[in-house]
Amino acid sequence: MSKIKILPEHIANKIAAGEVVERPASVVKELIENSIDAGADEIVITIKGGGKNLIQIIDNGSGMTQEDALLCVERHATSKISAWEDLEHVRSFGFRGEALASICSVADVDIKTRVKESDVAALLKIHAGKISEVTQEAGLAGTSITVKNLFYNVPARRNFLKTNNTEFRHIAGVMKKFAIAYPQIEFTLIHEDEKIFQLKKSDLPTRLEKIIGKDVMSYTLPVDKDQFGAHIKGYISKPSFSYKTHGEQFLFLNGRPITNRTASYAVFSAYGHSIPKGDKPFFILFLEWNPEEFDVNVHPTKAEVKFKDEQLLYRIVFHAVQDSMVTDALIPTMDNQASAETATLHLNDQSVLPFETQRRPVQFGQTAVAHEMVHSGHEESVVQFFSADEQKTQVQKQLVQRQPVNPSTLVWQLHNRYIVSQIKSGIAIIDQHVAHERILYERALDAFDHNPIFSQQLLFPQTIEFTPEDYAIVEHILPLMEKLGFVVKTFGKRTIVVEAVPADVRLGNEQKILLDMIQHYKDNENHDLDPRDSLAKSFSCKTAIKSGDPLTVDEMNGLIDQLFACKFPYVCPHGRPIIIQLTLDELDRRFMRIT
């Protein structure tokens, strides 16, 4: 007798449901996705018992005929694709035909649906994955799906669910993502017979102010960039505003909420060290890309996406975020009340907040809180509902513009380390090393894409011998090295001859710089997905003038002018600040001219 048996259909369905339906929030996600795919622009979500007792989604989408309604609860029944090739172009949320069948196998489900062309709606009642009743009755165009007693027939799974408040918070997290991604859709949430909120149709900035809050959005920078066949837009926090956790980071791919380590790492890399160690930036990014460039069919919930070229994804996100931070609002100022122990920094012209602040906790799912949200009359109610307990680091914005350099402009060098220069609103103090590093970094990136750096011929070519591992790296990056201005020829199996170096390299340091660059590349090979960026950072850091190097007035003026000609002159490639500002008002306060 054979030991291997084919499982009964009802057992197989329950097992499959475990992959798609993890908790009540999974049901809400799948049903909202179906509503969006159906073209709905009004969606009402009703929750009871944290979604364990009742989940109801009502939409005004295209609806279904009775024939389609009967098919939609069958496994692998879908209207989205009909051939394997369709997967390469899919833009809808659903396409596998698994969600409804999985939900029906672990709950009692009622489906009421009507197309506009029909006079009556079809009503289906499903129990234990089987249709128990089919009738017709009056109803509005669209679809209403009611899910009751979730996991009633899988007690082990139901026992693993958390408290009602915890499950409702997970549902709120799902709704937050859809509300952000689709401002053109009206979302209404009802919990325990209380209307928690009703988000009207709006544009994206208005919707984000409702959900994220005006205060947070005031510390964001817009992102909008087309490159490499992709369009990325959204908002990122200024380096002066950050969170302690990953909670406030949203990435959408063609309208689909996703998680992707490469994209998140690209955002963090673009910030570098401009935010405190351990803090996380806030971002909402929408990536529009050809579906042929990625595969969403790699995870049961489609939350994870596989890209054909992860390195290209990294470059798209990294450069979009970095280019968006090209603003003089990022330069920090010195506050006369600040000290090394307790710093307070301007958020705007009127208000000052402490360096560490914390939002008031929101108690999810409690009737009293829900009642307060509905009847308080404050716009902040929706923001509070979607808020998490976060500690944020917040800093001000300040505008700094350097006056044109002329012979009478005073600049001087402080301890052969810092350059002090007059600006419109006071004085700017510039770190000479990181300033030159930023100039060389942007010059190196431009050399890779457009204008190779000029070389200076060595009077005596340098011969360098490498280990087999290092020599393999040299061969790999040699084309990029040549664009930076190095003229290198291989000599034997592990030896190179350096005949010329970039014009920015001080003669006599070429061998050390080259060796340091290779070591830096080797150290970061597994962390930086873009070898060009890694090489540009290494080149700029090792080649830049050092702290302690004396500079003439002409050299200082030239350095400042080149810095302000950069795309991003306010932090170095590794994220350290380049400039701080001391305003005239601050000087007047220090000398007690004003109080």
Q: pLDDT by residue (tens digit) across 98-119? A: 788 889 999 999 999 999 999 9
139: domain CATH number is 3.30.565.10
CA atoms of 17 and 185, how far apart (whole Å): 29
Same domain, 223 and 318: yes
Tokens read off for 583: 């305003």
CA atoms of 250 and 235, how far apart (whole Å): 10
234: domain CATH number is 3.30.230.10
Q: pLDDT at residue 595 above 50?
A: yes
- Give whichever of 47-56, 287-296, 346-355 has the largest mean pLDDT: 47-56
Q: pLDDT at residue 264 above 60?
A: yes
CA atoms of 448 and 441, how far apart (whole Å): 11
Average pLDDT over residues 165-182: 94
Question: Strands 283-288 and 487-491: what pairing?
Answer: unpaired
Average pLDDT over residues 259-281: 84
User: How much is the pLDDT for 66?
Assistant: 95
| Total count of domains within the chain | 3
C-alpha dihedral sign at 98, 100, 104, 107: positive
402: in domain: no
Q: pLDDT at residue 243 above 90?
A: no
Give the pLDDT band (50/70/90) at residue 352. Answer: very low
Residue with the larger pLDDT of the pair 350 and 83: 83
Burial zone of 555 (CB within 10 Å; 0-12 exposed, 13-18 middle, 19+ buried): middle
Tokens read off for 16: 């499959």
Q: Is 185 left (phi over 0), alpha (psi -120 to 50) or beta?
A: beta
588: in domain: no
Average pLDDT over residues 5-23: 67
Average pLDDT over residues 64-83: 80
Average pLDDT over residues 285-306: 80
CA atoms of 74 and 98, how far apart (whole Å): 8
User: How much is the pLDDT for 63?
Assistant: 95
Same domain, 161 and 211: no
Give the pLDDT band (50/70/90) at residue 69. Answer: very high
Same domain, 177 and 50: yes
User: How much is the pLDDT for 156?
Assistant: 84
443: in domain: yes
CB 570 within 8 A of CB 331: yes
User: How much is the pLDDT for 368?
Assistant: 36
User: Which of 291, 292, 281 is closest to 317 using CA atoms?
Assistant: 281
Tokens read off for 474: 């040299």
User: How much is the pLDDT for 392?
Assistant: 39
Which helix or strand (DSSP H or E) is residue 559 part of? Answer: helix 553-564
Cβ-Cβ contacts under 8 Å for 47 (sequence gap 6 or more): 24, 28, 54, 55, 168, 171, 189, 190, 191, 192
2: in domain: no
Same domain, 98 and 219: no
User: How much is the pLDDT for 529?
Assistant: 56
Cβ-Cβ contacts under 8 Å for 431 (sequence gap 6 or more): 417, 418, 547, 572, 576, 577, 578, 579
Same domain, 290 and 426: no
User: How much is the pLDDT for 88?
Assistant: 61
What are the angstrom distances between the C-alpha of 239 and each of 205, 334, 393, 593? 20, 16, 9, 33
| Residue found under tokens 């701080």 | 580
User: Which of 75, 77, 74, 30 is closest to 51 using CA atoms?
Assistant: 30
User: How much is the pLDDT for 270?
Assistant: 86
Calculate the average pLDDT of the chain. Answer: 80
- Beta bridge partner(s), residue 412: 420
369: in domain: no
Q: How many C-beta atoms surround the C-beta of residue 363 within 10 A? A: 11
563: domain CATH number is 3.30.1370.100
CA atoms of 290 and 306, how far apart (whole Å): 13
| Residue found under tokens 């969403």 | 296
CA atoms of 444 and 453, how far apart (whole Å): 8
374: in domain: no
Same domain, 195 and 310: no
Q: pLDDT at residue 89 above 70?
A: no
Same domain, 18 and 72: yes
Instruction: For 412-449, write each residue's pLDDT tens digit.
Output: 999 999 999 887 788 889 999 999 999 999 999 899 88
User: How much is the pLDDT for 297?
Assistant: 65
User: How much is the pLDDT for 62?
Assistant: 95
Q: pLDDT at residue 343 above 70?
A: no
371: in domain: no
Same domain, 302 and 350: yes
User: How much is the pLDDT for 44?
Assistant: 97
Same domain, 291 and 331: yes
Lowest-confidence segment of 50-59, 182-191, 324-333 by average pLDDT = 324-333
Same domain, 155 and 209: no
Same domain, 425 and 312: no
Instruction: For 364-416, write each residue's pLDDT tens digit.
Output: 333 333 444 444 444 556 776 776 544 333 433 333 444 444 444 578 999 99
User: How much is the pLDDT for 405?
Assistant: 42
Same domain, 121 and 223: no
CB 581 within 8 A of CB 421: no
58: in domain: yes
| Residue found under tokens 């005073």 | 410
CA atoms of 130 and 249, how far apart (whole Å): 40
Choose the final residue of a domain: 201, 218, 236.
201
Q: What is the DSSP letter of 219?
A: T
Choose the final residue of a domain: 397, 425, 448.
397
What are the angstrom distances between the C-alpha of 234 and each of 121, 242, 363? 40, 17, 29
Give the pLDDT band (50/70/90) at residue 179. Answer: very high
Boundaries of domain holding 446: 411-580
- Give whichever of 139-153, 207-221, 288-302, 466-480 has the largest mean pLDDT: 139-153
Give the pLDDT band (50/70/90) at residue 150. Answer: very high
CB 353 within 8 A of CB 395: no
